[in-house]
Amino acid sequence: MIFSFISPMFPGHQTPLSPVGPQARHIEHNLLLIFSITSIVYVIVIAVLAYGVVRNHAREGFVPHTLVEDPEIERKATWIVGAALGLTIILLLVMMVSSFYTSHSTAVLAQAQAIKIDVYGHQWWWEVEYPINEQPYRMVRTANEIHVPVGAVVTIHATSRDVIHSFWAPNIHGKKDLLPGYENDLTIQVDQPGTWRGQCAEFCGLQHAHMAFDIVAQSREDFDRWYEQQLSPAPEPASSQAIHGREVFLTHACVMCHTIRGTTAGATVGPDLTHLASRSMIAAGTLKNTRGNLAGWISNAQSIKPGVRMPPNPMPSSDLNDLLAYLETLR
């Protein structure tokens, strides 16, 4: 890895300096090349400028060259300017060729047979669908977490449900815009297990900064186990508290926006909650998925993420506690 001296500073963080896939590595190499060339040119220009200033100030009785006609000086200046111009053209061509090569290399994986995952951008969360083998009964829907097998080629088939968003996981690939009414494909591959943060990279409204997602790379065995677990409907609650919590969910506003498979809740305005408790975060990366955070989010999401479509849900504390007990069973 070219940025080996920097990458350890960003373990698991959202940064192009710690690539975990072939496309991100190509982008990192191109970044290093362009950064190195421009840095060297900058240093040379500043050094020449400083030398000229010091040299001219050191000369007594200095007369600017523009007032003195000296053919020899003019000839040298012409050669220097010409050489600098030629070198500039060569360096620009090198950066252009490198950029073209990087663009081609990041698209090569699209030619391979890939796992297809549909991603839909919403204000301000990510809907994720797994139409594996195009079999409706094996469709998995989740939110803000994209699970992929390590080393597998995955095609992210993406669009927006409202305004322009941009899908960006810099450790894995470059950005891809999501436009309402248009569909874009982004082919990725993650070569090591771990969780890699992504972010909407196109300003999309008040909570744009709080529209994150995770790409979770797992071994093929772990991915298959996760997928099979996600196919199952919500389990039947065992405790009286969880049973009452399900009743609270089905008789309050929750049922108007969310789906829990295995119940009568089937709305699609908000995220599918069938396996809510298995997720590491809620509110598109705004909060960790803990009981306290979930309670605050249910009670008054607007105080946490103003402008979000989730309305306040005032209810007695006993009902809220039972609802939380039920949601904690959704694994």
b/e per residue, 282-318, with b = 16+ CB within 10 A? bbbbbbebeeebbebbbeebeebbeebebeebebeee
Residue 231 in domain: no
pTM for the whole structure = 0.81
Instruction: For residue 177, give every residue at least 6 positions away whose Cβ sits within 8 Å of its Cβ, in sequence order, or none.
Output: 164, 165, 166, 167, 184, 202
Domain that holds residue 301: 240-327
Residue ranges in the chain whose pLDDT is less than 70: 1-12, 58-70, 110-112, 133-134
Q: Which of 109, 126, 159 is the last residue of a domain?
A: 109
**Structurally, how many domains does the chain consist of?**
3
d(CA 228, CA 87) in angstroms, rounded, equals 58
Q: What is the pLDDT of residues 185-219, one digit of tens each?
A: 888 999 999 999 999 999 999 999 999 999 999 99
12 and 99 share a domain?
Answer: yes
Type of residue found at 45: V
What is the reported pLDDT for 167? 95
d(CA 227, CA 133) in angstroms, rounded, equals 13
Q: What is the DSSP string of 173-236?
A: ---EEE-BT--EEEEEE--S-EEEEEEE-S--STTGGG-EEEEEEE-HHHHHHHHHHHHSPPPP
117 and 103 share a domain?
Answer: no
Type of residue found at 172: I
Residue 229 in domain: no
Instruction: For residue 321, give every residue at least 6 positions away whose Cβ sits within 8 Å of its Cβ, in sequence order, or none.
Output: 241
Residue 232 in domain: no
What is the reported pLDDT for 63? 57
What is the reported pLDDT for 14? 81
Of 172, 177, 179, nearest to 200 by C-alpha is: 177
120 and 215 share a domain?
Answer: yes
| Cis, bond preceding 124 (omega within 30 deg of 0) | yes
72 and 153 share a domain?
Answer: no
d(CA 181, CA 186) in angstroms, rounded, equals 17
Q: Which of 78, 109, 140 is the last residue of a domain?
A: 109
Task: Give phi and psi for 26, each to the nearest 5.
Answer: -60, -40
Q: What is the pLDDT of residues 258-301, one digit of tens each?
A: 999 999 998 989 999 999 999 999 999 999 999 999 999 999 99
Of 198, 186, 193, nearest to 110 by C-alpha is: 186
d(CA 28, CA 110) in angstroms, rounded, equals 19
Residue 2 in domain: no
73 and 143 share a domain?
Answer: no
Q: Taking the CB of residue 162, how many other CB atoms lie within 10 A of it? A: 14
Of 38, 48, 35, 33, nearest to 98 by C-alpha is: 33
Q: Which of 184, 219, 254 is the last residue of a domain?
A: 219
Q: Taking the CB of residue 22, how many other CB atoms lie within 10 A of it? A: 19
Residue 235 in domain: no
Residue 230 in domain: no
